[in-house]
Structure 1
């Protein structure tokens, strides 16, 4: 495969087998300067100016450290085409913003994601993981690991944090699947216009769910995050209902979907690397931190984020032009041969491990990284202690350029 044989803008590229994708990004990293791709035409937005594909670790780290040049707010960070105004209403949370708006929102919500706050949820995470494995043992070998194990833990924790009742868990799960369904026919049905309509409806329904709860919590506060956010007053600043709704969608997407995909990918890594499983089993707690970082590196649940150049800028020997876009392919950076020795190998003792699975350095580093690490740690601790030989079958992968996801995967034990 030569560099001209594939197009990252073509949805069919993201349906290729994983080894072909690995080879394509290896070739992109080997180029003297980042490749430039034309944008795909979509019905809901004008065709954009094209984008630089940043695939090397050094380029992604440097771009992340310069948010005033590589901005997130001009058209959105979570999609390559510019986001229409009606999409921004539901999906325009802080990862699609620049300072000072980004800083304001992050300052208000960040108090819920400090290590101290996460510690308060540790007991809940452990109780939920225990119950999930209890249910797994009852269901027996052959069940769907993604829906029965990997998806349940982060979904419950995020919903419990926000105060969403258990009766609405499935509702939240299904709408989040639509939002991150990409090009996958299981979730995206019909032509591009129909898919856009489904996406908007899912966002509207999730936003309405949390706004209704927020309206009630304003007069009837409890200890949940919704109560804290709607009644918070930080230096005279509060979240509007619109901002709260968009933040909840961000939580569902970033805190639910991505963690479940890391857990699913992690089981496949253990299945394909019995030596690493044995190494982890020798010291489950002691080797968990390194194992979790290595899972996140190789899983890279979010494939990319997009930026737009605010001015001409030279970086690592390449001149980037104002107005063009740069797509930061974290998945590729986490396989960069110049940073990671034997980058495709799963090595739970890898040290150092400067992966960008939670984003690059700078203001957009994942706010929920502490929580994600905790959930992955607890879930695998429970599995390794109680079902140490569990294995994952062939994954049914999500057809998406944005999320490196697994929809279904049987497990045996």
Structure 2
């Protein structure tokens, strides 16, 4: 009789330690595989973050089944008080970052209902035209300039301009939106936040205040002089007697600018790196671009997992997949781990542009918090690579990407390319 296999030890894994997140991606994925092999979710203590109170710790949900079930059960795994921070955020943060991503129903449903009405078929059609126009312009500029930093010259430009045009943000403010969104999602990266926690907190709060202030000024102008942009649609919306407050509008714009800009740009950046590392997959996709576009884009999102995790707080005692959770427990849904779950994805570490089915959770798990901008993100990624395929089919990265030092966003700050 064969002895039972014992789970591999976890002494070298601490998801709260930023040192873990500086390790090579292959080592991190191997660590998550060991966590998935455990019979129960592993509990981690929270680090000391100075001015931010240290919490009791959290359970790491690393299996696809756990992430999906928790996402489908928001009445138990709640987004309040915060989905985007493992420590409970200080009160000042909620003024700018208390968007619907950090809310539960009925408040979440109310905001999403109002915001969704701004994404009418006419608005989406305009967006798609804008995506195509911007992608053509960006790739034409690449042709003229030659080898460059792909992130700055291409991946970062497309979602930034699309979102700003969608909201009606003047071009003179695009740089400010870009820089402040970088700061808000900087994680622990000193290039954006400085060397100490107090400086970092101050910079994040100032970035939120600047973005909210920009929208407050624009909202006042659009109430007096409406146009056909999304800001006008939102400030003048009245859905069953409900409309957005200025604070809600500001928080939504911060969510849109940050989530819609940073995550899409990182998916595009990772996409070029993956196609460079796997030329056989590029050859497959390029042999029939339209035929493989849908599966290739989903595979880029699965493989990159631009958003690594979201937090949930347990509202009542609850048993899930054999583990008993208590009211008040924090859980962290690790999408990056769920997207490599070997019980769901065959050969999960392989990049395969033909992979189907592909039930990844790169846009969040199923449920009320599934990404509102998933359609737009897919469109942007597809159009960008279509233009690259058409005009610069041999474009490739030429050096090691400079990665964002973050445990929340799988970001690439810069990456050289040539063609």
So what's the TM-score if we normalise by structure 2? 0.96
Mark the runs of 5 or more structure 1 residues left unpaired by the alignment: none
Match of 2:39 among 32, 48, 53: 32
Question: Paired residue for 2:351?
Answer: 346
Greater shift after overlay, 234-243 or 108-117? 108-117
Q: For residues 50-80 of structure 1, give each alpha carbon's deviation from its aligned partner in whole angstroms, at most 9, with x where no partner exists.
A: 1000000000000001101000012x10010
Question: Paired residue for 1:403?
Answer: 409
Does the Cα contact within 8 Å between 1:151 and 1:260 map onto a contact in 2? yes
SS of corresponding position for 1:280: helix
Question: Paired residue for 2:326?
Answer: 321
Does the Cα contact within 8 Å between 1:7 and 1:37 map onto a contact in 2? yes
1:218 aligns with 2:190: no
For 1:355 and 1:19, locate their aligned partners in 2 and report how far apart those are by CA, in whole Å.
Answer: 19
* 1:203 to partner: Cα distance: 0.3
* 1:123 to partner: Cα distance: 1.2
Question: Paired residue for 2:242?
Answer: 237
1:52 aligns with 2:59: yes
Does the Cα contact within 8 Å between 2:149 and 2:416 map onto a contact in 1? yes
Q: For residues 31-62 of structure 1, give each alpha carbon's deviation from its aligned partner in whole angstroms, at most 9, with x where no partner exists.
A: 11110000112223322121000000000000
Question: Paired residue for 2:28?
Answer: 21
Q: For residues 233-256 of structure 1, give each alpha carbon's deviation from its aligned partner in whole angstroms, at most 9, with x where no partner exists.
A: 001101011000000000011100
Does the Cα contact within 8 Å between 1:112 and 1:118 map onto a contact in 2? no
SS of corresponding position for 1:314: strand
* 1:120 to partner: Cα distance: 2.8
For 1:321 and 1:46, locate their aligned partners in 2 and report how far apart those are by CA, in whole Å.
Answer: 21
Match of 1:208 among 201, 205, 213: 213
Match of 1:275 among 256, 274, 280: 280
For 2:405 and 2:9, locate their aligned partners in 1 and report how far apart those are by CA, in whole Å.
Answer: 23
Does the Cα contact within 8 Å between 2:211 and 2:254 map onto a contact in 1? yes
1:163 aligns with 2:163: no
For 2:117 and 2:271, locate their aligned partners in 1 and report how far apart those are by CA, in whole Å.
Answer: 29
SS of corresponding position for 1:4: coil
Q: For residues 131-184 of structure 1, give each alpha carbon's deviation from its aligned partner in whole angstroms, at most 9, with x where no partner exists.
A: 00011111102x100011000000000000000011111111111111111111
SS of corresponding position for 2:60: strand
1:135 aligns with 2:141: yes
Question: Paired residue for 1:196?
Answer: 201
For 1:312 and 1:113, locate their aligned partners in 2 and report how far apart those are by CA, in whole Å.
Answer: 38
Does the Cα contact within 8 Å between 2:306 and 2:411 map onto a contact in 1? yes
* 1:115 to partner: Cα distance: 6.3
For 2:257 and 2:51, locate their aligned partners in 1 and report how far apart those are by CA, in whole Å.
Answer: 24
SS of corresponding position for 1:411: strand
SS of corresponding position for 2:310: strand
For 1:4 and 1:318, locate their aligned partners in 2 and report how far apart those are by CA, in whole Å.
Answer: 22
For 2:76 and 2:203, locate their aligned partners in 1 and report how far apart those are by CA, in whole Å.
Answer: 34
Match of 1:61 among 48, 53, 68: 68
1:412 aligns with 2:383: no
Greater shift after overlay, 8-17 or 241-250? 8-17
Show structure 1 runs of 4+ deviating over 3 A: 112-117
For 1:114 and 1:28, locate their aligned partners in 2 and report how far apart those are by CA, in whole Å.
Answer: 43
1:174 aligns with 2:208: no
SS of corresponding position for 1:353: coil
Structure 1 pair 325–162 and aligned structure 2 pair: CA distance change class (3 A): same
Question: Paired residue for 2:4?
Answer: none
Does the Cα contact within 8 Å between 1:130 and 1:382 map onto a contact in 2? yes
Q: For residues 200-239 of structure 1, give each alpha carbon's deviation from its aligned partner in whole angstroms, at most 9, with x where no partner exists.
A: 0000001101110111110000000001111110011010
SS of corresponding position for 1:3: coil
For 2:365 and 2:51, locate their aligned partners in 1 and report how far apart those are by CA, in whole Å.
Answer: 29
Match of 1:332 among 328, 334, 337: 337
For 1:111 and 1:287, locate their aligned partners in 2 and report how far apart those are by CA, in whole Å.
Answer: 32
SS of corresponding position for 1:287: helix
For 1:113 and 1:397, locate their aligned partners in 2 and report how far apart those are by CA, in whole Å.
Answer: 33
Does the Cα contact within 8 Å between 1:309 and 1:321 map onto a contact in 2? yes
Question: Paired residue for 2:388?
Answer: 383
Question: Paired residue for 1:262?
Answer: 267
Mark the runs of 5 or more structure 2 residues left unpaired by the alignment: 1-7
For 1:145 and 1:54, locate their aligned partners in 2 and report how far apart those are by CA, in whole Å.
Answer: 34
* 1:113 to partner: Cα distance: 3.8
* 1:114 to partner: Cα distance: 5.9
Does the Cα contact within 8 Å between 2:118 and 2:234 map onto a contact in 1? no
**How much is the aligned-residue C-alpha RMSD, in angstroms?**
1.1
For 1:115 and 1:28, locate their aligned partners in 2 and report how far apart those are by CA, in whole Å.
Answer: 43
Does the Cα contact within 8 Å between 1:111 and 1:117 map onto a contact in 2? no
For 1:99 and 1:387, locate their aligned partners in 2 and report how far apart those are by CA, in whole Å.
Answer: 46
